[in-house]
Copies of this chain bind each other. A is one copy, B any other.
Amino acid sequence: MAAQASTDNNDHLVRSSDSQHPANLIPELCRKFWTLGWVTGTGGGTSIRDDDLVYLAPSGVQKELMKSEDIYVLSLAQQSDPKNRIYLRSPPSLKPSQCTPLFLAAFTKRGAGCCIHTHSQWAVLITLLLENSPQSQNKNLFEINNIEQIKGFGKGFQKQGALGYHDTLRIPVIENTPHEEDLTESLEEAMDKYPDTYAVLVRRHGVYVWGETVHKAKTQAESLDYLFQLAVEMKKLGLPWLSDIS
């Protein structure tokens, strides 16, 4: 599945003394995410796009132990054939992440600069609560409003500014598939149906969150996990996710 683009391994692409270089940022983010329970047991992942270059955490690595040399690099422009993905740089004994086409969807369809995939239990519980909700409710859409943290999200694709306190945050839910890469089509459909969303929940699996920059993707992922956790606690306490305050 992964073809090597060059005879040398282009290690220079992941070697930098700059702490803000993607190959240094991804391991640092993953260490932080591990402490949050987002990438337990090699689950989840993170990718950063710098112009045409995409940096990706590999598959099956303990995320709190990841190093710069574990990072894959590919060129967006060269991805003509999704069945034969070309990597500019592949770590010798690792496998590319099955999340790759999903990260690429955020980069190509939304111009995102960073995409974060977590297995946060709060995200999974939200999708389970929706699945088990009454017939009358849309089981494929998480909605919450009138919570200050909603202001942590941008208004949407190519729009200026952030959501307001009274706005309803809507995160679509797609069904999980046996092979993660097979999520790509439904993820892209969800992006088309909810063009302003910065995240898609995957039922019984987790969430994909992105943003124009690493800063945006990371703080939106945090805000979203905060809202998922709050919403689960609200459910335990019999409090509704939507209210009529205005």
Contacts and interface: CB of A to CB of B under 8 A. Distances in A.
Contacts of A146: 176, 204
A197 to B, nearest CB: 16
Contact of A226 (B40, B62, B128, B220): B40
A207 to B, nearest CB: 11
Contacts of A232: 233, 237
A218 interface: yes
A37 B228 CA distance: 14
A229 interface: yes
A129 to B, nearest CB: 6
Contacts of A233: 121, 125, 232
Contacts of A168: none
Nearest to A146: B204
B119 A149 contact: yes
A152 interface: yes
Contacts of A125: 230, 233-234, 237, 239
Closest 8 CB pairs of A and B: A41-B223, A148-B205, A41-B222, A41-B152, A41-B219, A40-B226, A40-B222, A165-B178
19 contacts: A37-B226, A40-B149, A40-B222, A40-B223, A40-B225, A41-B223, A41-B226, A43-B152, A43-B226, A62-B215, A119-B226, A121-B229, A128-B239, A132-B238, A146-B176, A148-B204, A204-B245, A235-B237, A236-B236
Interface of A: 37, 40-43, 62, 119, 121, 124-125, 128-129, 132, 146-149, 152, 164-166, 176-178, 202, 204-206, 215, 218-223, 225-226, 229-230, 232-239, 245
